[in-house]
């Protein structure tokens, strides 16, 4: 398995939204789920997770409430809001477009110039 890639700047918010869109999670759960759905290929900086979560909540894209975690302890669960869903859609479209563009540029061979 190739080395886990480091997350590119600015994409953490998008990934959190996606992770949470699949069901309410607490902070640790978000971390695990992102690792899981990336097939263990992505490593998230511990220090940037909670600031990102708080930032998204401040902007109104996710909402939080206290609940019970698996080990019967109190934990704060985050879920996606309607605004967050919209944001996720927008960001996904933008990302795909950007990826297409860049891939197109990088694939240019000398004959196509």
Q: Which of 6, 11, 50, 85 binds another protein (CB under 8 A)?
A: 50
Q: Which of 39, 74, 104, 105 binds another protein (CB under 8 A)?
A: 74
Q: What six digits make up the tokens of 96?
A: 């795909």
Residue 92 DSSP SS3: helix
12 contributes a contact to another protein by CB under 8 A:
no
42 contributes a contact to another protein by CB under 8 A:
no
DSSP string, 33-87: HHHHHTTT-EE--HHHHHHHHHHHHHHTSEEEEEEE-TTS-EEEEEEE-HHHHHH
Q: Which of 11, 41, 59, 96 binds another protein (CB under 8 A)?
A: 59
User: Cα separation of 34 and 44, whole Å?
Assistant: 8
Q: Cβ 66 to another protein, closest distance in Å?
A: 8
Residue 6 DSSP SS3: strand
Q: Cβ 57 to another protein, closest distance in Å?
A: 7
* Binding stretches for another protein (CB under 8 A): 26-28, 46-48, 50-52, 54-55, 57-60, 66, 69-71, 73-76, 83
């Amino acid at each position: 398995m190739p080395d886990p890639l480091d997350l590119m700047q600015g994409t953490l918010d998008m990934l959190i939204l996606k992770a949470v869109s699949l069901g309410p999670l607490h902070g640790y759960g978000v971390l695990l789920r992102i690792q899981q759905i990336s097939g263990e290929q992505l490593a998230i900086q511990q220090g940037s997770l909670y600031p990102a979560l708080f930032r998204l909540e401040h902007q109104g894209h996710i909402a939080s409430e206290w609940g019970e975690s698996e080990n019967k302890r109190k934990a704060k669960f985050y879920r996606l809001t309607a605004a967050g869903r919209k944001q996720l859609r927008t960001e996904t479209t933008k990302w795909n477009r950007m990826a297409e563009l860049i891939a197109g540029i990088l694939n240019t061979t000398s004959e196509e110039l």
